[in-house]
Each structure stands twice: as C-alpha cells, then as structure tokens.
Chains A and B, each alone.
Chain A
C-alpha cells in the first residue's frame, strides 16, 4: 500500500477530506499524517525557514521537515491548501521545492475548493502513485520487441507500433465513439507498420478512455497520461538523462511535468479549460477560415501585440479576435494572438508550479501548430523543442513502458 503523506490546511473544513481519501483509495494508496511534536511546530522557522500566521500551515511545514529527515515515513507527498489563499499557495510551493530538493519523494501539489471531488483528483493521484511505485518501470529507456500504444484522447485517438526502439507505424483519428475510434487508429498504425495484431507482444493504453480501451483490447498496461506522456516526450527528444520539462497542451487540458533522468517528478495539470488548450486554436482556425494544420504557419508571420486580448476565456477571447478582425487586423496577427493567449495561460498557471529546466519539450497535437511553441519560447526566454511524432507521445510512452512488462 503506497503511503501518501498529507500536508494540508483546510480540507477537513472545506468538506473535501473524504474526497481526498476516496481518491487515494481508488489508486491503491492511503493518506497518512506523519507524527510531529509540538516542538517541531514551534521551531518551524528554524527547521524549515519560515513561520507563518496560520498554524495548520506551520504544521504542514513541520511535517515536511520530518519527512525529509526520515524518508521512510512516506512514499509520496500530497500538499493541499485552499484555492485563493495566498499564504497557502506560497507555503505549498515552498514545501514542494523543499521536498524536491532534499529527497527523492514525489510530490503532488493541489489547491482545492469545496467542489473538489475524488474524480478531479484521480489522474493526479494515479500519477503520484505510479511515480512512487513504478520507479523501476519508469526508468526504462529503450523500447524492445514489438509493442504498441493507444492514446484515447478527448479530441483525437492516436496509436503507434514500435519495434526495437523505433516507431514503425502510426494512426490518428478524431475521437467519436471511444472504442470504435481506438479500433480505427490501432488498425491504421498496424497497417502502416505492416504487422498483424496477433504479432504485437504487448499493448499499452493511456488518455481519458484508457480503461475502456484497455479492457476491450486486453492491454497489459493501462496508465494515466502524466507519466506516459512525459516518458514518451523525453524518449522522442532524446532527453532521458539529466533534467527536462515537458509541456503538453492537449485538446481540452494542459500539463507540465518536470523530469529527472527520464523519470517524471513534479507535475501539474490544469483544470479543464477550453481557452488554455487546443480547443481555442481550433475555434480560431475555423473563424479565420483555415485548416488547423495551416494555423501555425499563418501565426509565424504575425505579431500578437497588434491584437489585444481581453480575456483568457474561449468565449470572450474569441470575441476579442472577432472584434480585431472587424477592425481590420491581419489574420496572421490574430492567429499569433490566439497562440500567445494559450501559451501565456499555461506559462502563468502550470509553469509556476514546476521547476522549468532545459530542455523544454512541447508535445501533443498542439505542438505542431508552430505559433504555439514560438509563443512559449518568447514567454520563457528559453528554446522550446518539438520532437518528431510530438502528437504521439502518449502512445509512444505507453508502447515503451509496456515493453518493460513484456520483457519481465
């Protein structure tokens, strides 16, 4: 049973402690509260570096120092404070950095409201437990044998076939009915690889539809997309040694993952927000009358500063773009403004929660829209790389990891 140390302020009083415990139970873990003494709490300034006004936050920091002193106390850490609490957000961020810098224990940081449910937390908890439990599997660097992966996403379903560490076939379809789309993508990948389904030694599934597809296809590995995507990303970018940061802006959400020596560490996942995902770019492309595959090239010729955007929201954001077009703005500038808006949101929200270390790797279908990585480069002041098969990182990661299970 994976023991996740809960360092928190407020969930019991927000009525969501039960949801946190349910989420942990659903992923085969339990929440624990490492013992600290009154002296530890009183001396938190000396031990951790700061004492704040809220006692529960001091207690959380005291627990963090105990865990670092004795890493056997917990397999993972979950730091949680109320959404909108500045004191909480600052302490949460410092606890995350402290544990990351002083131990190898994976940390999940989250801000909850009274509406947080176990389902909201599930993917994050799953990723945390995977990182704690499957370090051996996650350290795998090469794909061996003949394996395949299916990424059943909210917007698109992708599949790859790999042999001896190379991608030999790919398939990509829009997601309509989950299993049917998976069939179509998988068949396309098998066909382009020139292999039969029976020859595949192991299949891994990921994405929103992973459980359904995994069960239907008898997958050996069913894994959430945080660990799998980051694994696929560093594999494709040949960045499995040292640090890396993976930014995955998908069709409906976005993630940022810090990776160390090929193993995902801290990660954040944005809440479902159309304005901070590919959905906004789709809408922009449609409005500009271009195919989504052309939006990127158009944006590269534009200047986002010429098109003021008043809102990150997809509804109001689109309105801003429409107003600009009516006022005579060039489509190139509008396209780049849309890319910049999405990149900026991810920069301001997700990228403040992870350690951004080079190389910065952008993945997901949206990474192929050239304006988006360019906008991210401008915001970060760092080079952003988009590896080949960037939209297939989920299935590549799944295929790579499942080959480890096949070998065993």
Chain B
C-alpha cells in the first residue's frame, strides 16, 4: 500500500481511483479534518491561526504572501509523505485550499522535483479519453506495488 498524493488535492475522482486500488490517497480534506478536530482551537473556519503561515516558511520565504505559506502548511506535509503522485494538468476548478495559483505552482514543482513516480494527465472530455484516463491511472497505481 502506497501513499499517493493527488493534485488537485481536492479531487474526488483521483482520490477515489487511488483508494479503490487499495492505496492511500493524500487529500487536503484529511489535513483539514485534523485541524478542525483539534480541541482548544477556535479560529474559523478551518482552525488555522497565524502560526500556520509560519510553519509554511519551510516551503516559502517570509516575503511570500501569508496565504501561500498558510496553504503550504497544509499541503507541505502531504508532499513530504507522498510516495507517488497523480497530477491533473491544465485548469480545473481550484478554489479554497487550491484557490491560490502560486501555491498550486509550488505544489506541482515540489512534486515533480521529488523524484517519486509521477503521472500527469488531463481531465477527459469524452468517453474515449475517459477510458484512456482510467486505464492509465489504474496501470500507474498497480505498478506502484
């Protein structure tokens, strides 16, 4: 069983395909879950506080906007844990945790330079592409064992 980070880290489709193959999908909602279930924190909506952008300094310098560093405090640990990754190329509906283009660029960069098995592909637009999409992902995931 391998830890596979999906990008966008909010993707239901990728996470589902990873988990049905028996691997663990690294998705940002799991990080959010840890945050919102931490007792004693009361910082709406995600229980993130000013220390989180400081944690993000590990990935981006102090002159990088706080929103990037804050998001990286969620995504960075996922990237570190990842043994493999699947990345969707091109635009998709990136909002919230993926609502910052600089964070997204940094995430993709760190995944690419980590030298882990990496599959990059685009969302399918028709049935023909969808069959290829699912097949490539299944092959990739099965090859990780």
Contact = CB atoms under 8 A, between A and B. Distances in A.
Task: Establish whether A and B are touching in the complex (CB under 8 Å).
Answer: yes
Interface of A: 9-18, 21, 38, 41, 52-57, 59, 81-85, 87-88, 112-115
Given A15-B50, A17-B45, A114-B50, A10 B65 contact: yes
B101 A10 contact: no
Interface string B52-64: 1110000000011
A85 B99 contact: no
B100 A54 contact: yes
Interface string B99-112: 11110000000000
Contacts of B45: 12, 17
B48 A12 contact: yes
Q: Which of A38, A52, A114 has the most CB of B within 10 A?
A: A114
A16 B46 CA distance: 11
B93 A15 contact: no
B35 to A, nearest CB: 11
20 contacts: A10-B65, A10-B70, A14-B48, A15-B43, A15-B51, A15-B70, A16-B66, A18-B42, A18-B43, A18-B44, A53-B101, A55-B94, A55-B98, A55-B99, A56-B96, A59-B99, A83-B66, A84-B63, A85-B67, A87-B102
A113 B68 CA distance: 11
A120 to B, nearest CB: 13
A14 B70 contact: yes
A82 B67 contact: yes
Contact of A15 (B53, B63, B95): B53
Interface in B82-125: 93-102
Contacts of B96: 12, 55-56
A50 to B, nearest CB: 14
**Which 9 pairs across A and B sit closest by C-beta, in order of nearness?**
A10-B67, A56-B99, A13-B70, A82-B65, A53-B101, A14-B66, A15-B49, A114-B50, A15-B50
A59 B65 contact: no
A82 B64 CA distance: 9
Nearest to A117: B50
B94 A14 contact: no
B95 to A, nearest CB: 4
Contacts of B51: 15
A12 B35 CA distance: 12
B71 to A, nearest CB: 5
Nearest to A52: B101
Interface in B18-77: 42-46, 48-54, 63-71, 74
Contacts of B93: 38, 41, 55
B34 to A, nearest CB: 15
A10 to B, nearest CB: 3
Contacts of A17: 43-46, 48
A82 B44 contact: no
B98 A82 contact: no
A9 B51 CA distance: 18
B89 to A, nearest CB: 14
A38 to B, nearest CB: 7
Contacts of B98: 55
Contacts of A21: 44
Nearest to B48: A15
B95 A59 contact: yes
